[in-house]
Structure 1
């Protein structure tokens, strides 16, 4: 009987201890959650392109993930990332999402900006769409054809990279600069034989044209990458804001991974796309935060490309590690920073 009593006491004591620990843990979580909501929200303005690469921001707004992480977010939408960059340099926003090519060109012009994190990476979201009725079936058929692209963007870099990878002399292709808002229309009218197109327009053209469209890409040589950028002065002065924005994007990416169908319903209307086009063009795995060595290598490649094509005055290739602001991402997602110093 004494043994049973002692055993009962030990069980009761253990239960009390477990309850106390559980209660403490729950209280700590409650306090942490309350602390985020109770602390004053920090205002941040972000410029982003009307492209699928900005989906994490759209999801974060829709699900109030920025608010939960203490950010009072304002967004400005632009047709292209390079226009978002212009808003950043003009002081109209605090941060901007853009493709890596406009970032490189700005650095070559001595702009004091830095990357906080990559936010989107895809090998399939951009392609050269060609008209089959113009006798184009593969990349080598582009010789003598007229190809439209957007100058000083990753679309132009993609086109040059594609031609080079297939051994097609750039001089054999007539490349013409098009306005971004007229790119698809010019291809549909036949003003050009082919054009650089990205999602969701790429998915729409594939659906509407069917076999009339020839989609050309080389997934081994080009990554369609978007980065989150700020001026160095603002980044140095606002570490808390940056960390909170990254935490919200982290949570948004998790939502995208866990809830792909609701995500499609959120971003479709914002992009003016049909649900089927978004479903075809949307890949949850492309939305990640990170700073990698491959990013630095891509920036180096594009800097050399820009100077070779006289998009920038000749100069020493910058050390792009000096244009990366890695501290905030290290504090939010330490394993996402994979840079060799």
Structure 2
């Protein structure tokens, strides 16, 4: 065999070997990708949801073998409704939303809290309305979001000012309607969470006043799921979700300024808008007695105010601690 033919033969064999290696490598990558557990999470569009945006952007979900789809929703009530309608596997919501929904849906489960704030809720009014204190809300219309932290915070402000029986009118609105209702003077004040306070301040032609008290209420943002989904989930899916969140929280706390800019990009907001409330947020993955006591307190409030019809659930059964316990054990 001539040297030229031998070279051509070796070249052909080499091409075949490379082709086989490429084929099986590609097949392995496809199989590995398809083996990732698909998870759909309804995420409230607020900086409080930062760990989810960061975990998605930095690949922490993927590192845990999860193919996560984040579905945006306008507030925890909407997120939870999507989960209850089986549109998503998990939802983010405040403890107030969990409390209200638990009276109606006994299969709700709380896996973990991932964010807290003492100053996310505000009671806002406009200077021309000449409302300078909470007692000036006598006979006024107050925009609130029914069955949410907005309503609990407003009532807490009344109670803290010894004005529980103040004569006023609650106007139940959707989250997207709160700021427009205030700026158009359809209501005299709104009980709202961020970034609505920022939007009101930026869009208003007059000065926006905060009548609230940042020390009376600690908002927590939590991850919820239906118990049936958790019991049927395979391959420790809930634990892996929590591990990804835990990694994201560590990164946020180590890189707060970069994280803030990343969250602004994820929410399609300006950095200034996220910075408005960023310093008030605390990110940590936890599941403790303080949260349990807060939910019980709110349940008593809702019952006393006639905001719920059924008997309160046993919130010890609402807490679903096993995934969090496994997360803590994996840290050691």
- Report the TM-score, using the length of structure 1 for normalisation: 0.82
Task: State the alpha-carbon separation in 1 of the partners of residues 138 and 316 from structure 2.
Answer: 38
Do residues 139 (structure 1) and 134 (structure 2) align?
Answer: yes
Please state whether the residue corresponding to 2:197 is helix, strand or coil: helix
C-alpha contact (below 8 Å) 2:120/2:280 kept by paired residues: no
Aligned mates of 2:81, 2:239 — CA distance in 1: 23
1-side partners of 2:94 and 2:131: how far apart?
28
Bigger shift: residues 150-159 or 210-219: 210-219
Residue 100 (1) aligns with residue 95 (2): yes
The structural deviation recorded for 1:269 is 3.3
Q: Which runs of 5+ in 1 are unaligned?
A: 1-36, 337-341
**Distance (whole Å) between structure 2 residues aligned to residue 62 and residue 110 of structure 1:** 33
What corresponds to 1:185 in structure 2? 180
Q: Which residue number corresponds to residue 271 of structure 2? A: 275
The aligned residue for residue 284 of structure 2 is: 288
Which of 104, 107, 116 is residue 109 of structure 1 equivalent to?
104
- The reply on whether 1:244 has 2:240 as its aligned counterpart is yes
Match of 2:321 in 1: 326
Match of 2:26 in 1: none
Q: For each residue in 1:198-230, what CA deviation from the matched residue of structure 2 results, as whole angstroms up to 9, or x when unmatched?
A: 112213433555971111322332111211111
2:42, 2:91 within 8 Å by CA — same for their partners in 1? Answer: yes
Task: Specify the alignment match of 2:196 in structure 1.
Answer: 201
Q: 1:308 is matched with which residue? A: 304
Aligned CA distance change for structure 1 residues 210 and 197 (closer, same or farther; 3 Å): farther
Matched residues, number: 299
Mapped contact 1:142–1:173 kept (Cα < 8 A): yes
CA contact (8 A) 1:160 1:170 kept: no
Local SS of the residue matching 2:285: coil
CA RMSD of aligned residues (A): 2.3
Change (3 A) 1:298 1:61: same
**Unpaired stretches in structure 2, ≥5 consecutive residues:** 1-31
Q: What residue number does 1:18 align with?
A: none
Match of 2:255 in 1: 259
The aligned counterpart of 1:232 is 227
Q: Using the TM superposition, name which of 194-203 and 37-46 deviates more.
A: 37-46
String of CA shifts for 1:99-140, please: whole Å, max 9, x gaps. Answer: 112211221114311100012111101101111211112222
Report 1:23-172 matches (<5 A). Answer: 40-172=35-167
Query: What SS is found at the alignment partner of 1:73?
Result: strand
